[in-house]
Amino acid sequence: MKSKITELAKRRGLFLPSFEIYGGASGFYDYGPIGALIKNNIEQVWRSKFVLKEGLFEISSPNIGIEDIFIASGHAKHFVDPIIKCKKCGKVYRADHLIEEYGIKTQNLSIKDLSEIIRRENLRCISCKGELSDIESFNLMFATYIGADSKKAYLRPETAQHIFILFNRLYEINRKKLPLGVAQIGRAYRNEISPRQALIRLREFSQAEIEYFVFPSEKKHERFSEIANIELKLLPAENEDEIKISVKKAVENGIIANELLAYFIARTYEFLREVGIPSEKIRFRQHEKHERAHYAIDCWDAEVLTQAFSWIEVVGIADRGDYDLKAHSKMSGKKLTAFDGEKHVIPHVVEPSFGIDRIFHCIIETAYRDDGKRKFLKLKPNIAPYLAAVFPLLTKEELIKKSHEVFALLKNKNIFCYHDVSGSIGRRYARADEIGVAFSITADFQTLEDDSITIRERDTTEQKRVNIKELAEILIKLRDGEIRFNKL
C-alpha cells in the first residue's frame, strides 16, 4: 500500500520529493496541489478547534532564531545525535543506527557506551567495510548567520521557544491574567543524519504547538466536564498492556498527572477523530522515566497505528513545569513571571505539540481505498482537497454553460471546487474519487428545465437531487456535519 500511495502522491500531486531535477535531498518534500489543499484543511480544522474554540492566542514568529534562545533552551548543547564516519569511503552514520544494523540493541546508551560496543565488536562501515572514526556529537539544528557581522543563529527546531521568549508581552496583552494559552502553526527544522520514511521523518516539517501557561497550583480546566467521560486507550509507563479508561478516572487514579494535561489529551483525541483517524487506531502512550526530559512532570504521546510504520507518535502532550520560562529568565536576566495576587511566580506550562506532516500521512493512509473496482480517498468533507467537483453530464454546449454557472456560484461562496469537462462522466468521477473530492455535482438535462442538480457522495456513490439555489448551503452543512447526505 505504501508504494500505491507514493504512486498516487506523485501522479496527482499529494506530495513530491523536493529538488528532484537536481537529484533530490532526503528529508525534504513538497506538498503538491492536492496535498497542499489537504494540509491547509488540517491546519484550518486545528485552528478552529484550538485557537478559536479554546480561545488561544495565535502568533507567528520567524523561523530563524538567534543563538541565545537555543543556548537557554538547551538545544545548542543537548539536541545532538552521535555520528560516526567511515575513514575509507567517508560515509556518515548515526552511531546507534549503525550498531543496530549489526543486530545489537542500543536503547539509552551514552556515546561512551556506543564507542565501547564498536571497539569491542570491531564494527566496520556497512557499505565498504572500512574502519570507523571516533563518535562525535552532531547538533541537529541548521545553523546560519545573520547580517554582515555574522551573528550566529539557528532554524528553530520547534515553534515553542519563540512563544516562551515572548511571554511577558503576551501576558500583558492578555491583561496580566492566567491562564494564557498561545498557539503557533509553522515550520520547524531538524538536520537529521539520514532521514527515511517520507513524511514521517523530515528535515523541514510543520508543527502546530500550544503553550498553555497556568499558575502551578491551578492545573485544571474550567471546561473539564465537557471531556471528562471520553474513553481513551492509554498505555501507562508502568503497564505492559493498554487500558481503556475515561479521562476523569485516569486523573482520579493518578495515571495522568493532572486535569489540565488530561484535558488537552482529550481534546487531542477529539481532533484526531475530527480529521478522520478512527478511534481504534489512536492510543496515548506515557513516556517512561528514561525517555522523559528530567524537568517534565508527565508526558504522553498520541500514537496512531499505521500500516507503513506501525505505531507512530503524531502529538506529544507534556507538562513541562516551569523549566522553559526559568531557563530563558536565567539566560536573559529578565523576569518571566505572573502575579497571583500575592506573589510573582513563574507559571507552569502544558504543551500539546502536533506534527502536521505525520497527521497528514495517517489521514491519507487511513483514507486510501482500492477494492479493485474503484479507488478513492475516504476523506472527511472538512479535509477533502475539494468539497465539490462540478461537471456537465455530457459535453454539450448548454450543459457545459450551466455547469460553469454552478461552478461560479460555488466559488463565490468560497467553496473549494473545480470544473471538469474532460472525458466521460465516469472518468471524471474516478478522477475526483481518487483525490478524495467529497461531492460531485452534475448538471444534466433536467437541470436545464427546473434548476435541480445532482449531488453524488464519494463513498457511497449515491446521488440526490437538490435545487441549485440551495446547493452551496447544503454543501457547507454537509461539510460541517450539520446534515447527513442520506437525509437530504
The CB-of-146 to its own copies minimum distance in angstroms stands at 6
Q: Which helix (H) or strand (E) holds 403?
A: helix 397-412
Residue type, 456: R
Q: Which of 34, 234 has the CB closer to its own copies?
A: 34
Q: How many angstroms separate the CA atoms of 186 and 62, rounded?
A: 9
Which residue lies nearer to its own copies by CB, 261 or 410?
410
**From the CB of 180, what's the least distance to its own copies, in Å?**
10
Task: Name the residue nearer to its own copies (CB basis): 60 or 460.
Answer: 60
Classified as helix, coil or strand, 244 is strand
Q: Whose Cβ is closer to its own copies: residue 337's or residue 463's?
A: 337
- Non-local (6+) Cβ contacts of 271 within 8 A are 45, 46, 49, 50, 354
Measured from the CB atom, the residue of 3 and 422 that comes closer to its own copies is 422
Q: How far is the CB of 49 from its own copies (least distance, A)?
A: 10
CB of 325 to its own copies, least distance (A): 11
- The position carrying cell 499505521 is 306
Cα–Cα dist 202/191, whole Å: 9
Q: What span, in angstroms and rounded, lies between the C-alpha atoms of 187 and 169? A: 22
* Grid cell in block for residue 444: 444534466
Task: Give Cβ neighbours of residue 126 (< 8 Å, ≥ 6 apart).
Answer: 91, 93, 98, 101
CB of 344 to its own copies, least distance (A): 16
Q: What is the DSSP letter of 98?
A: H
Task: Report yes or no: 203 and 190 within 8 Å, Cβ to Cβ.
Answer: yes
**C-beta closer to its own copies: residue 222 or 280:** 222
Q: Which of 450, 8, 14, 29 is nearest to 198 (CA)?
A: 29
Give the whole-angstrom CA distance, residue 443 versus residue 441: 7
Q: In this structure, are residues 287 and 251 in contact, taking their beta carbons and an 8 Å threshold?
A: no
Shortest distance, position 46 Cβ to its own copies, whole Å: 12
Q: Which CB sits closer to its own copies, 22 or 486? A: 22
Q: What are phi and psi of 74, to 5 degrees?
A: 95, -10
Q: How far is the CB of 159 from its own copies (least distance, A)?
A: 11
